[in-house]
Structure 1
Amino acid sequence: MSSVPNQNMKASLNEREGFQVWWRLLRPHTLTAAFVPVFVGTMLAAMEQPIKLGLFAAMLLASILIQAATNMFNEYYDYVRGLDNENSVGIGGTIVRDGISPRVVRSLAIGFFVMAGLLGVYICIASSWWIAVIGLVSMLFGYLYTGGPYPIAYTPFGELTAGFFMGTIIVGISYYIQRLTISWEVILVSIPVAIFVGAILLANNIRDRVGDADNGRRTLAILFGHKGSIRFLTVLFLIAYGLTIALIIFSILPYWSFITLFSVAKGYQAIQGFKGKSQPLEMMPAMVATAKTNTMYGILLGISLLLEISIPLG
């Protein structure tokens, strides 16, 4: 493998050596998809009773570990299947560009799953052992997302799976371990969060559409085409914000939650960033903007719940 393409790609992506190699392996721009659902679910519980900080911290760390492990399995299996190369955009690149052993990447992913499992034991002891069942299923799907004979990421169901497990399920668990109960209101609030998580995967697939099609994937972005995928991403954003407004109108969310609309500008930037672009590197800013939309929406939603606790209105 020539070092010249490696150096050129690293320069174009502004990649650095040393610790940055391992940091990129985690794909940090995706980790907010693990933080946001835990934050929102916990803040929903905090509106009804004081939260248990130990459970919040354990759930947050376990969620981040599972997300990071899923990213590592993604990198490992895409390399094994020959889908990633030194010129691939949007990957950690630790295997194909930095020379990290695939076995090391796989071992780290397994290790992160084990650590998440140990945190899960603590969470179960402090709440309910039913959480263990849900947690194991979530980790299984995290592995199957790119592992196994029929990876979910290669099908049209990647966004739905990611949104459901990293959005609705985590919001629900984060609420449940604090209150030991669940409600339809919590599930409804989780839906916009799930949509934004799924949107991150859709943005990723829009960027990689051509290469994925060449490698036999059948993602939504491939089925819809470039322009159709942008329209679908727009519809997802509209549904998420529309549902948020409806939840406020029907008093399921507080009026403070209107502050989530400050994230609309970032979502608009993401949509515009994909238009007229054809090269993966050109679409990187749009994908980052999509992830930031999720981050801004989720943090603002959580803050709005905190504001309702400390400064109740009417």
Structure 2
Amino acid sequence: MATAAEWVQGARPRTLPAAVSPVLAGTGVASYDGGAVWWKALLALLVSLALQVAVNYANDYSDGIRGTDDVRVGPMRLVGSGVATPGAVKRAAFLAFGVAGAAGLVLAATTAWWLVAVGLVSVVAAWYYTGGSTPYGYLGLGEVMVFVFFGLVAVVGTTYVQTEAWSWAALAAACGIGALACAILVVNNLRDIPTDTDAGKRTLAVRLGDAATRRLYVGLVAAAAVAVVAVAALTSWWALLGLGFLAVAGRGVRTVLGGATGPRLIPVLQSTGIGELAWAALVAVPLLLT
């Protein structure tokens, strides 16, 4: 039976900056556009964190029952390592989905009921990333879905539930956050090209190959920098402070371009995640203070 520490490790807490960042960025834009609603921002944060944990447990379960986690380079997996049963991990995923759903229902009830449909689609997308008979994560579509749901939906949705209005600045911020969220997945899959190939996973990295995947990672970081300029042009030039994220993400770029493989890419996952959080904070804080 898995210990509490192993359950926490299985939730992959190092991925949580990818859940905090879109809510922080979206709230910054909401504040600039007319005023943040802090209790809604906190509920949006709960939704995002719960969905991230649910995705992590769902992936652990689905990959574990397929046997695609038998050889691991990255963090420990609960099912793959045998410390937890598939059923227990599946229940943990559904519990996290339930928390996200409950918080999301409150936001929908106080904003617009069509948000329920957005939430349901998000949950389905989270499950079928590695779940079901033909998981889209094995077909090279993972990055597209990450950009849509952890970028566009998360940032624009966070802004909308607070302002109840469309915002071009939120869209620009969503593109920046989405690009960095994709970069995290890209470098994760770059690291796993050998094992994913052996397991039959046709991730985007496997399809593109090593060299093109490294270029894609650099391109996504560059796109995030361009998005900072777009947000600043639409709001306040103080938002250009967001370019400071390159001080962190730049280390990952150098490592990726240097040809690092396997475990040597694990620090890049951390630096990219911190870079995404820095992007959000350095863009959002000036907007919150403007």
Aligned to 2:259: 276
After the TM superposition, which segments of 4 or more aligned residues of structure 1 sit over 3 Å from their partners?
A: none
Q: Is the 8 A contact 2:67 2:80 kept in 1?
A: no
Give the Å deviation of 1:227: 2.2
Alignment partner of 1:175 out of 133, 146, 159: 159
Q: Is the counterpart of residue 225 in structure 1 residue 209 in structure 2?
A: yes
Distance, in Å, in 2 between the alignment partners of 1:299 and 1:243 is: 14
1:146 to 2:130 alignment: yes
Partner of 2:177: 193
- Structure of greater Rg: 1
109-118 vs 266-275, greater mean Cα deviation = 266-275
Answering whether residue 121 of structure 2 is matched by residue 137 of structure 1, we say yes
Q: Counterparts in 2 of 1:203-242, with a 5 A limit? A: 203-242=187-226
Unmatched runs of 5 consecutive residues or more in structure 2: none
Distance 2:216 2:198 in 1: 22
Post-superposition offset of 1:247: 3.8
Aligned to 1:254: 236
Q: 2:37 aligns with which of 52, 69, 91?
A: 52
**1:133-155 Cα distance to aligned partner (Å, 9 max, x none):** 10111111011111111112112
Query: Does residue 296 of the first structure (1) align with residue 278 of the second (2)?
Result: yes
Q: CA deviation at 1:90?
A: 1.9
Question: 1:41 matched to which residue of 2?
Answer: 26
Distance 2:280 2:191 in 1: 23
- Tell me whether 223-232 or 27-36 shows the greater mean CA deviation: 223-232
CA contact (8 A) 2:228 2:283 kept: no
Aligned partners of 1:33 and 1:294 also within 8 Å: yes
Q: Which residue of 1 aligns with 2:94?
A: 110
Q: 1:282 to 1:263 in 2, by over 3 A?
A: same
Query: Deviation of residue 50 (structure 1)?
Result: 3.2
**Relative CO higher for 1 or 2, CA cutoff 8 Å, sep ≥ 6?**
2
Alpha-carbon distance, 1:98 to partner: 5.8
- Partner of residue 122 from structure 1, selected from 82, 86, 106: 106
Q: 1:74 aligns with which of 48, 53, 59?
A: 59
Q: Is residue 91 from structure 1 mapped to residue 80 from structure 2 by the alignment? A: no
Asked if the contact 1:40/1:171 (under 8 Å) is kept, the reply is yes
* Residues paired across the two proteins, number: 288
State the alpha-carbon separation in 1 of the partners of residues 170 and 272 from structure 2.
24
Q: What secondary structure does 1:95 align onto?
A: helix
TM superposition score normalised by structure 2: 0.94
Q: How does 1:14-33 map to 2 (within 5 A)?
A: 18-33=3-18
State the partner residue of 2:267.
Answer: 285
> Partners of 2:134 and 2:260 in 1: how far apart?
30
**AA aligned opposite 1:162:** V
Deviations 1:36-56 (A, max 9, x none): 111111221111333222211
More deviation, 113-122/43-52: 43-52
**Structure 2 CA distance, aligned partners of 1:48 and 1:285?**
36
- Say whether the 8 Å CA contact 2:21–2:280 is kept in structure 1: yes
SS in 1 for 2:201: coil
- The one-letter code matched in structure 2 to 1:72 is Y
Larger proportion of helix:
2
- How far apart are the structure 2 equivalents of 1:18 and 1:300? 37
Q: Which residue of 2 aligns with 1:10?
A: none
Residue number in structure 1 paired with 2:249: 267
